[in-house]
Amino acid sequence: MTNTPSPLVPTIVKRRGGMLDILLVALVLVTAWGRTPVANLVSRGVQTVLGIEHREPPLTSYFRIERSWDRLTHHLARHPVPPVPSTTPTEGFPEPYRSAARIVLEDAAIIERLDEAWTGDPEATLEVVAIGEELRDRAIRRADAAGRENPDRYRSHRAYLPQDAMVVADEAVDGVLAVGLLLDLEWPVDVSSPISSGWGDRIHPISGQRKFHNGVDLAVPVGTPVLAAQPGTVLTAAEDDRNGRYLVLEHGHGVRTAYCHLDELLVDKRSSFERGEMIARSGNSGRSTGPHLHFVVRVNGKTLDPLPLRRTPTQAALLRE
């Protein structure tokens, strides 16, 4: 018996290779182009064949900003005391960003180029040296035309840069300025305050289990003034059972700090503050075995050991003079 299609049930034929399929594939390819390391490597090859100048291999630039944090960690392991910001020549690129540029960019001639391009604004100078004035000015004009607030700031016009230029500029601007913030960190309490528990794996004092400790515990009495590590804004001002009363501060360029187990919060969410400004009083709130301040430093979501960033009492005194 032969099965024949009923005239009442239309036969469905799936057509392949139609114009819609071709358009979808093209859309995926266009979206991927310039968004992946492989696409950027192909782009570099095309530039090389056509004789077009390119500043840096796009494939490696994807991973350089992550490596900059590794370089900072290794630098601090060799030089546990960060450099004291010194008086910079009038026309020179200032500290602590000068030291940060050496760590992040690993270019023997970078300081000379930064000095020559110095405009009085570390962010603008770093971007110009990284990608040139023409690309920066074009992105600023586009951001301005789009109605972006403060179009001359990197965060406002970054999206209007070509993809490969954006990757290079991210490391030069965010990488260097973030490391500069860390090298010039204000310790939140007196630098002579003892460390009751360090950063890294430890046996939790309450649960008794091995657990990663994402900051350092500074043993200080309840009511000790707590200072902001750098200028910025308050991202979180809250209280919970684990952290007690706590603050999370946003300092820009991927750098955040947190202060936990506080007795009193002196700033509100979204308020701004200056480096060294009193933002809270330490306490013993939340899951705590005694009065202390739990201090956390994060860069791009990853915690760093804050201890190598602490200055000696002598250095701290010099900075206050």
- 72-92 pLDDT, tens digit per residue, is 777 777 766 665 555 555 578
* pLDDT score of 141: 97
> Which of the residue ranges 4-13, 46-55, 211-220, 258-267 has the most confident prediction, judged by mean pLDDT?
258-267
Does residue 25 fall inside a structural domain?
no
Q: Which of 28-37, 82-91, 140-149, 190-199 has the highest mean pLDDT?
A: 140-149
pLDDT bracket for residue 289 (50, 70, 90): confident
Q: Are residues 158 and 221 in the same domain?
A: no
C-alpha distances (whole Å) from 271 to each of 93, 235, 237, 296 are: 30, 8, 10, 20
113 domain-assigned: yes
204 and 179 in a single domain? The answer is: no
Nearest to 260 by CA among 235, 240, 233: 240
Model pLDDT, residue 9:
40
Give residue 63's Cα distance to chain centre. Answer: 14
Query: Which of 129, 150, 183 is the C-terminal boundary of a domain?
Result: 183
CATH number at residue 259: 2.70.70.10
| Structural domain contains residue 14 | no
Decide if 298 is inside a domain: yes
Burial readout 196-232 (b: 16 or more C-beta within 10 A, e: otherwise): bbebeeeeeeeeeeeeebbbbbbbbebebebbbbbbb
Is the per-residue pLDDT at 319 higher than 70? Answer: no
15-62 tens-digit pLDDT: 555 666 666 666 555 544 444 444 544 554 554 455 444 444 333 343
* CB distance 294 to 257 below 8 Å: no
Question: What pLDDT is stored for residue 84 in this prediction?
Answer: 56
- Band of residue 213 on the pLDDT scale cut at 50, 70, 90: confident
The reply to whether 219 and 261 lie within a common domain is: yes
Percent of residues, the chain, with pLDDT higher than 70: 68
Output the six-digit token pair for 71: 């370089």
pLDDT of residue 11: 43
Q: Do 60 and 121 belong together in one domain?
A: yes
Q: Which of 162, 183, 204 is the last residue of a domain?
A: 183
Query: How many CB atoms within 10 Å of residue 9?
Result: 7
Whether 1 maps to a domain, the answer reads: no
> How large is the average pLDDT for residues 117-126?
94
- The pLDDT score that the predictor gives to residue 273 is 95
Position 16 in a domain:
no
The pLDDT value given to residue 107: 81
Query: ∠153-157-159 over CA atoms, to 5°?
Result: 140
Give me the pLDDT at residue 17, please. Answer: 53
Residues 153 and 45 in one domain: yes
133 and 37 belong to one structural domain: yes
Is the model more confident about 188 or about 201?
A: 188
Domain range spanning residue 303?
195-320
Residues 272 and 311 in one domain: yes
Q: Which of 129, 151, 183 is the last residue of a domain?
A: 183
Instruction: Return the pLDDT at 53.
Output: 42
The confidence score (pLDDT) of residue 104 equals 86
Q: How many domains does the chain have?
A: 2
- Mean per-residue pLDDT, 140-157: 95
Query: Are 246 and 175 part of one and the same domain?
Result: no
Same domain assignment for residues 93 and 173: yes
Query: Does residue 142 sit within a domain?
Result: yes
The pLDDT score that the predictor gives to residue 55 is 42
Mean pLDDT of the chain: 80
- The H or E element spanning position 263 is strand 255-265
Among all chains, which residue has been given the structure tokens 């009751």? 196
d(CA 185, CA 191): 11
The number of angstroms, rounded, from the C-alpha of 229 to the middle of its chain's C-alpha atoms is 15
121 and 89 in a common domain: yes
Of the pLDDT bands very low, low, confident and very high (cuts 50, 70, 90), residue 280 is very high
Q: Considering only 131-145, 168-182, 256-270, which range has the smallest mean pLDDT?
A: 168-182
Q: What are phi and psi of 187, to 5 degrees?
A: -70, 135
Enter the pTM of the model.
0.74
* Count of beta carbons in the 10 Å neighbourhood of residue 152: 16
- Residues 157 and 233 reside in one and the same domain: no
Predicted local confidence at residue 308, as pLDDT: 86
Give yes or no: residues 132 and 174 share one domain.
yes
pLDDT range class, residue 263, cuts 50, 70, 90: very high
Contact 157, 151 (CB under 8 A): yes
Is residue 23, in this structure, part of any structural domain at all?
Answer: no
What is the C-alpha to C-alpha distance for residues 162 and 164, in angstroms, rounded to an integer? 6
